[in-house]
Amino acid sequence: MIHVPITSLFAAAFAVALVMLSIPVTLRRIKVGDLVGDSRDEKLQHRIRAQGNFIEYVPLGVITLGLVEAQGAAAWLVFAIGGTLGLGRLLHAVGMLRANAPLRGFGMIFTYLALIAAAACLISLVLDIAPF
């Protein structure tokens, strides 16, 4: 059996983060009475997109992180990729919820860096072409 304890910790943190992003969506839906679908309420739209963007990027990030760890990458590298993804998702969510474009932008940059780093590590580990 393959053990991926670092990825497991990140997956747990991301699960909690998703709940933290989902609760404000639910509360706002109840408040404005839009229980399904999109809304004309701008605050609800921002909350929905913060949650949706998280859902769009985190699953692939966790999968690639787990594969990097399972392929035997150094623990520091797994932590670095997971931490970069976590920082990116945090900055993006705060930027979305506070209408702060620079934070959103930095959040996406860190998210992209984490995904590209994970992909590069996977390719190099599978092809055995780099000392990860």
pLDDT tens profile 28-47: 998 988 777 777 888 999 99
Backbone torsion region of residue 10, taken as left when φ is above 0, otherwise alpha when ψ lies between -120 and 50, otherwise beta: alpha
For the chain, the average pLDDT equals 93
User: What is this structure's pTM?
Assistant: 0.91
Instruction: Locate 81 and state its tokens.
Output: 């990729």
Structure tokens at 75: 């623990």
CATH code given to domain 5-127: 1.20.120.550
The stretch 58-74 carries a mean pLDDT of 97
Tens-place pLDDT, residues 76-116: 999 999 999 999 999 999 999 998 999 999 999 999 999 99
3-class SS at 34? coil
Q: How far is CA 9 from CA 20, 34, 72, 123, 132, in A?
A: 17, 35, 17, 24, 21
What pLDDT score was predicted for residue 131? 63
d(CA 113, CA 123): 15
Residue 82, judged by CB atoms within 10 A of its CB (0-12, 13-18, 19+), counts as: buried
Cα separation of 10 and 41, whole Å? 33
**Domain boundaries along the sequence of the chain:** 5-127
